[in-house]
Amino acid sequence: MTGDSSRVVRSPPGNGGPFFSSETMIGRTVSHYTILDKLGEGGMGVVYRARDLTLNRVVALKFLPPHIGGDPDESARLLQEARTASGLNHPGICTIHAIGEHEGAHFIDLEFVDGRTLGNILGQGGLPLERALDYALQICDALQEAHANGIVHRDIKSENVMVTARDRIKVMDFGLAKLKGSAKLTRPLSTVGTLAYMAPEVVQGGEADARSDLFSAGVLLSEMLAGSLPFRGDHEAAVIYSIAHGTPEPLSRLRREVTPDLERIVNRALEKDPAKRYQTAAEMGEDLNRVGKGTPLPLSSPPRESAPPSRQAPAIAPRVTLRRAILALLGVLVIVAAWVFYRTGPGSSKAEQGGRKMLAVLPFENLGAPERDYFADGITDEITSKLSGLSGLGVIARSSAAQYKKTEKTVRQIGDELGVQYVLQGTIRWEDAGGESRVRVTPQLINVADGTQMWSQSSEAVLSGVFTIQSEIASKVAEALNLRLLQPERQALRSRLTDNPEAYDARETEQR
């Protein structure tokens, strides 16, 4: 195990024992290990290269933060996690040899990996296509082994993947990420770099499972192909919103060699809903293997039923004759043709597809400080998302409406260009007083045909109440358009993305 060196960490007074600094550790003997040099440092400790004097082998010793050793519950969790992870025996997983304690400091004896982190390699840009596919396959293989043993990594990212001198992958820190995962998103321990790999359900406070690891693997594959992360932002709030709501730029636009099948694999791994993602690492690996061999993916590859990963033998596909396959394909084509005729046949128009009312939600205008533009974008995204799922209403994609941010064009021009009957726009004002921020949101629903205002109502709330405002705006728009909503749709309009105001308020990032 190796990595880039960074700052020296010392134990704060009275926090459960020393956390040895590099100045005092090099050349020392700790238990039956001689410390040779420092390899790197991260949120879960400092790592040294050491020689095991008993077995005469080079290992990596990870010394853990002092708060773990000082808390009996954390110490018990550490021991349990290490025992579980030490049972993993796979060429793509860094082996845990032992766990020990020296002068109040807890450490883990790990397999020494001679190589570089994938993050260090990706700092130079994207990888060749074949190499990215090879690494992704190896990562999936390692994850399948861990998941089959009931272990979820919870922190798959480029810095936790090593590439050896022989170009083989080693996934690091199995069993340790759960400890790191106990930190809340708003605590200073969290970083934008780590956050960018988290699954939507995790950033919204849910539990991570095997499918969360596969989302992270999808982020990593996208990064290997594009040379940049799919979900980005200047602060935690922006990254959180991007993960929960954002749609990454298509890989094929960023890199010409990315085939439609490879893009399908990445898109499926990055599905917001865990049930729509790959359900096992083996399943994702199968599709990656097909693409690597130039074999087309199946015409339809819906997510399989979610089930706990197990060491079951791969299912054998039933034999399908060519005649049956052709008949099935013809049946699908007939259904698709009928659907297209229904949606675009006689009587349809650009402004009214299949009887639906068409709406564009234009970017809400931030009338406050420029650094709060992200908040207006978040409000716009959330309202667009809530309205997009309603019966009888077609909502123009956020990416298409975004081009009209701060535009000089009239509502009539925008309506003609987008082919919509209605436009929703709005402004956001701020008031900072008494240590809290208040937000005033003023939406306007406009009829494109005559430019009349169909509905407008200002709403004001403290920052934490803005989530209710979003739901109210969506509900009032649906009411003004006379939409007949089903009960589940009414409930969806009342739901909120998050109860965490820090998901929008970036002020806490000043702490870092």
d(CA 325, CA 318): 12
Compute the distance between CA of residue 117 and CA of residue 157 in angstroms, rounded to an integer: 10
Closest CA to 46 of 30, 32, 56, 54: 30
196, 225, 357, 448, 483 from 419: Cα distances, Å: 35, 35, 10, 10, 19
The C-alpha atoms of residue 7 and residue 22 are separated, in whole angstroms, by 9
Q: Which listed residue (155, 173, 287, 505) is catalytic? A: 155
Tokens of 4: 């880039």
In our burial notation (b when 16+ CB lie closer than 10 A, e otherwise), range 121-152 reads bbeeebbebeebbbbbbbbbbbbbbbbbbebb
Q: Look up 155 and say whether it is catalytic.
A: yes
Q: What is the pTM of this model?
A: 0.56
Per-residue pLDDT of the chain (512 residues; tens, 9 = 90+): 544 333 333 333 333 444 455 557 888 999 999 999 998 876 667 889 999 999 999 999 988 776 665 667 666 666 666 777 788 889 999 988 888 888 778 888 989 999 999 999 998 788 999 999 999 999 999 999 999 988 889 889 999 999 999 999 999 887 555 544 443 333 333 444 478 999 999 888 888 899 999 999 999 999 999 999 999 888 888 888 899 999 999 999 999 999 999 999 999 999 999 999 999 999 999 999 999 999 888 865 444 444 444 333 333 333 334 444 444 445 444 444 443 433 444 333 344 444 678 999 999 998 888 877 878 888 888 888 878 768 788 888 887 888 998 888 898 989 988 889 999 999 988 877 666 678 888 898 999 998 888 888 887 777 656 667 777 888 888 888 888 776 666 766 665 544 444 444 443 343 33
Pairing of strands 393-395, 422-433: unpaired
d(CA 211, CA 195): 16
DSSP 8-state class, residue 56: T
Tokens found for residue 398: 């956020």
